[in-house]
């Protein structure tokens, strides 16, 4: 189940519209600019002469780029990013606490009885239970969500939202989660009832199918709930991106941007969707605050994800992980149900009231599998970086963009730290790749 939650978080992480009167695009950008400046995130500025005078040696040139980050900026970035490591632990512990609260005193069993009375039929009962479970978890973990989603982002000067606007968006995304979880839970327990002992094999297949559907509908149905997507105005940026897309057979006739500045100062772009809905889009912070060389470098990286079919490959690579995850759940649930039946009032795997326990086991598994998950995405990011350098031929634009990302990503971690906690390669790694390209190709 956590897989769906992860996928939802992935698609929703950039998101979200204020529910109140939306500010104009100009107001938003001005506010985001002001927030970015006030945050104290600074990179020592340079000119083309500085870049041309960089040593040819990739390692030395990489160091020169990293030296442009003031010590206090790096310290702040390190603190922000490593704080995220603790959040992984806290999120797991909060999740386990929620499970303990719901399972003890037969609360989940009573919730199932309520769903049975209202739903009248197994499918509607399980849907209701799934939705109610998401709601209960959201309410119980709200303090942590406020801390990580709003307070911490404010403290580090990256959020451009008022608390109420953030809360409105969080409520909306929880409503989306409730709906999706309802459908997924009804499907999963229908499979458990039919397949018996072997439910986890069919469950793996079902969850992959659900993941495909979720990724495919996300850019069309979910992301537009939170942000406005608009074509980039005609000009050199649009022409350059379309040129690179067409050169690689990407069938697009427009470039889209979205108003991320209403939520954050972060610069980013993404490729989302699957099958017919796949799209490459850049956020307005990237569009308005960076040079054209940087935009070309970033967008060629995103096109790399698209051309190399990373979305589909990612799901394929996750399949064995989900398979093992479900096997572990089947094994652990048998023992947990036998041991705790008296206290929880739940004794059978096909009883939806056991859902919080099932999710807890899956969460522990996926938290322990974090390095595997991260390594899958990190390897794809390295591929896309190299594709992007070959396409845009902008090693400096790429390096400059990477320096900006230090606002929210630790620049220079240790090797083990990068392996465990980094879903993208570190700044040092990525700039080094660009400088190695420059050294080998002999460009300025
Ligand atoms: Zn990427």
Q: Are 26 and 151 in contact (CB under 8 A)?
A: no
Cα 32 to averaged position of ligand 1 atoms, centre (Å) = 23
Cα 271 to averaged position of ligand 1 atoms, centre (Å) = 8
Q: Which residue has the higher pLDDT, 219 or 109?
A: 109
Cα 361 to averaged position of ligand 1 atoms, centre (Å) = 30
Cα 384 to averaged position of ligand 1 atoms, centre (Å) = 6
pLDDT digits (tens, 9 = 90+) for 144-196: 999 999 999 999 999 999 999 999 999 999 999 999 999 999 999 999 999 98
Computed on alpha carbons and rounded to an integer, the radius of gyration of the chain in Å comes to 23
Cα 222 to averaged position of ligand 1 atoms, centre (Å) = 20
Question: In the predicted model, is pLDDT for residue 4 greater than 80?
Answer: no
Tokens representing 321 are 């992980």
User: Using CA atoms, how far apart are residues 403 and 132, in angstroms rounded to an integer?
Assistant: 43
User: Using CA atoms, how far apart are residues 437 and 210, in angstroms rounded to an integer?
Assistant: 40
Helix (H) or strand (E) run with residue 442 in it: none
What integer pLDDT is reported at residue 21 of this predicted model? Answer: 41
Q: What residues flank ion ligand 1 with Cβ within 5 A?
A: 381, 384
Cα 305 to averaged position of ligand 1 atoms, centre (Å) = 7
Question: In the predicted model, is pLDDT for residue 434 greater than 90?
Answer: yes
Burial of 119 (0-12, 13-18, 19+ CB in 10 A): middle
Cα 120 to averaged position of ligand 1 atoms, centre (Å) = 46
Cα 58 to averaged position of ligand 1 atoms, centre (Å) = 22
Cα 21 to averaged position of ligand 1 atoms, centre (Å) = 33
Which of 300, 320, 302, 321 lies closest to 310 in space, CA to CA?
A: 302
Average of per-residue pLDDT across 209-238: 92
Average of per-residue pLDDT across 193-210: 93
Tokens representing 374 are 């991260």
What integer pLDDT is reported at residue 19 of this predicted model? Answer: 32
Q: How far is CA 176 from CA 144, 172, 181, 218, in A?
A: 20, 6, 8, 11
Q: How far is CA 381 from CA 31, 50, 102, 317, in A?
A: 31, 28, 39, 14
- Report the C-alpha dihedral over residues 363, 369, 373, 376, rounded to 10 degrees: -160
> 277 pairs with which residues across the strands?
none
Cα 124 to averaged position of ligand 1 atoms, centre (Å) = 39
What integer pLDDT is reported at residue 270 of this predicted model? Answer: 85
pLDDT digits (tens, 9 = 90+) for 347-395: 999 999 999 999 999 999 999 999 999 999 999 999 999 999 999 999 9
Cα 381 to averaged position of ligand 1 atoms, centre (Å) = 5
Q: Which residue has the higher pLDDT, 280 or 67?
A: 67
User: Using CA atoms, how far apart are residues 69 and 27, in angstroms rounded to an integer?
Assistant: 29
Cα 256 to averaged position of ligand 1 atoms, centre (Å) = 17
Q: Are 256 and 279 in contact (CB under 8 A)?
A: yes
User: Using CA atoms, how far apart are residues 142 and 147, in angstroms rounded to an integer?
Assistant: 9
Three-state SS at 69: coil
- Mean pLDDT, all residues of the chain: 90
Cα 240 to averaged position of ligand 1 atoms, centre (Å) = 19
User: Using CA atoms, how far apart are residues 135 and 132, in angstroms rounded to an integer?
Assistant: 5
What integer pLDDT is reported at residue 252 of this predicted model? Answer: 86
Average of per-residue pLDDT across 285-305: 94
Cα 310 to averaged position of ligand 1 atoms, centre (Å) = 9
DSSP 283: E
Q: Report which listed range, 13-22, 279-288, 343-352, is most confident.
A: 343-352
Cα 1 to averaged position of ligand 1 atoms, centre (Å) = 25
Cα 336 to averaged position of ligand 1 atoms, centre (Å) = 40
Instruction: Give percent of the chain above pLDDT 90.
Output: 84
Q: Are 308 and 382 in contact (CB under 8 A)?
A: no
Place of tokens 């972060």: 266
DSSP 271: E
- pTM comes to 0.88
Cα 301 to averaged position of ligand 1 atoms, centre (Å) = 6
Cα 392 to averaged position of ligand 1 atoms, centre (Å) = 15
What integer pLDDT is reported at residue 31 of this predicted model? Answer: 62
Burial of 294 (0-12, 13-18, 19+ CB in 10 A): buried
User: Using CA atoms, how far apart are residues 231 and 238, in angstroms rounded to an integer?
Assistant: 9
Could you list the beta-strand ranges (E) of 268-317.
269-272, 279-283
Cα 294 to averaged position of ligand 1 atoms, centre (Å) = 14
Cα 197 to averaged position of ligand 1 atoms, centre (Å) = 40
What integer pLDDT is reported at residue 3 of this predicted model? Answer: 37
Average of per-residue pLDDT across 329-338: 96
User: With bands split at pLDDT 50, 70 and 90, how would you rate the model's confidence at 12?
Assistant: very low
Cα 249 to averaged position of ligand 1 atoms, centre (Å) = 19
User: Using CA atoms, how far apart are residues 330 and 25, in angstroms rounded to an integer?
Assistant: 50
Question: In the predicted model, is pLDDT for residue 5 greater than 60?
Answer: no
Cα 379 to averaged position of ligand 1 atoms, centre (Å) = 10
* Cα distance between the two ends of the chain: 50
Helix (H) or strand (E) run with residue 10 in it: helix 2-12
Average of per-residue pLDDT across 312-318: 93
**Which are the contacts of 48, defined by CB distance < 8 A and separation ≥ 6?**
none
Dihedral sign (CA 67, 73, 77, 78)? positive
Cα 157 to averaged position of ligand 1 atoms, centre (Å) = 24
User: Using CA atoms, how far apart are residues 370 and 378, in angstroms rounded to an integer?
Assistant: 12
**Strand pairing of 279-283 and 269-272?**
antiparallel
Cα 192 to averaged position of ligand 1 atoms, centre (Å) = 37
Average of per-residue pLDDT across 100-114: 96
Place of tokens 């989900």: 322
Cα 288 to averaged position of ligand 1 atoms, centre (Å) = 20
**Strand pairing of 256-258 and 279-283?**
parallel
What integer pLDDT is reported at residue 27 of this predicted model? Answer: 62
Q: Are 255 and 231 in contact (CB under 8 A)?
A: yes
- Phi then psi for residue 261, to 5 deg, are -65, -15
Cα 423 to averaged position of ligand 1 atoms, centre (Å) = 10
What integer pLDDT is reported at residue 275 of this predicted model? Answer: 77
Place of tokens 């970033």: 298
Q: How many CB atoms lie within 10 A of CB 209?
A: 11
Tokens representing 9 are 């978080």
Cα 134 to averaged position of ligand 1 atoms, centre (Å) = 30
> 231 pairs with which residues across the strands?
256
What integer pLDDT is reported at residue 35 of this predicted model? Answer: 65
Cα 303 to averaged position of ligand 1 atoms, centre (Å) = 9
What integer pLDDT is reported at residue 313 of this predicted model? Answer: 94
User: Using CA atoms, how far apart are residues 158 and 409, in angstroms rounded to an integer?
Assistant: 12
What integer pLDDT is reported at residue 75 of this predicted model? Answer: 95
């Amino acid at each position: 189940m956590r897989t769906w939650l992860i996928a939802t978080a992935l698609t929703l992480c950039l998101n979200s519209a204020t529910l109140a009167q939306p500010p104009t695009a100009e107001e938003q950008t001005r506010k985001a600019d002001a927030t970015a400046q006030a945050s104290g995130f600074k990179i020592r500025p340079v000119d083309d002469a500085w870049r041309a005078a960089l040593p040819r040696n990739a390692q030395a040139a990489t160091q020169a780029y990293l030296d442009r980050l003031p010590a206090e900026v790096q310290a702040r970035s390190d603190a922000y990013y490593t704080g995220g490591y603790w959040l992984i632990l806290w999120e797991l512990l909060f999740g386990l606490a929620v499970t303990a609260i719901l399972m003890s005193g037969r609360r989940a069993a009573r919730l199932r009885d309520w769903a049975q009375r209202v739903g009248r039929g197994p499918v509607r009962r399980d849907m209701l239970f799934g939705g109610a479970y998401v709601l209960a978890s959201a309410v119980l973990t709200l303090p942590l969500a406020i801390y990580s989603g709003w307070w911490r982002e404010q403290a580090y000067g990256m959020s451009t939202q008022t608390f109420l606007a953030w809360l409105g968006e969080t409520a909306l995304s929880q409503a989306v989660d409730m709906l999706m979880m309802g459908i997924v839970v009804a499907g999963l327990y229908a499979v458990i009832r039919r397949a018996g002992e072997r439910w986890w094999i069919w469950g793996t297949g079902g969850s992959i199918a659900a993941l495909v559907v979720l990724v495919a509908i996300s850019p069309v149905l979910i992301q537009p709930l939170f942000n406005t997507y608009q074509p980039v105005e005609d000009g050199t940026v649009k022409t350059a991106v379309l040129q690179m897309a067409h050169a690689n057979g990407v069938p697009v006739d427009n470039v889209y941007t979205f108003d991320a500045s209403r939520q954050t100062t972060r610069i980013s772009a993404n490729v989302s969707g699957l099958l017919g809905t796949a799209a490459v889009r850049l956020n307005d912070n990237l569009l308005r605050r960076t040079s054209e060389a940087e935009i070309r470098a970033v967008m060629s990286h995103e096109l790399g994800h698209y051309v190399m079919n990373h979305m589909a490959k990612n799901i394929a690579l996750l399949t064995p992980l989900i398979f093992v995850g479900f096997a572990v759940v089947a094994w652990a649930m048998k023992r947990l149900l036998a041991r705790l039946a008296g206290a929880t009032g739940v004794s059978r795997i096909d009883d939806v009231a056991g859902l919080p326990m099932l999710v807890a086991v899956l969460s522990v598994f996926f938290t322990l599998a974090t390095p595997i998950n991260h390594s899958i995405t990190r390897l794809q990011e390295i591929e896309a970086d190299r594709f992007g350098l070959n396409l845009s031929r902008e090693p400096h634009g790429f390096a400059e963009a990477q320096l900006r990302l230090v606002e929210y990503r630790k620049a220079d971690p240790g090797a083990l730290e990068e392996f465990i906690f980094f879903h993208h390669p570190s700044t040092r790694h990525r700039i080094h790749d660009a400088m190695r390209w420059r050294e080998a190709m002999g460009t300025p």
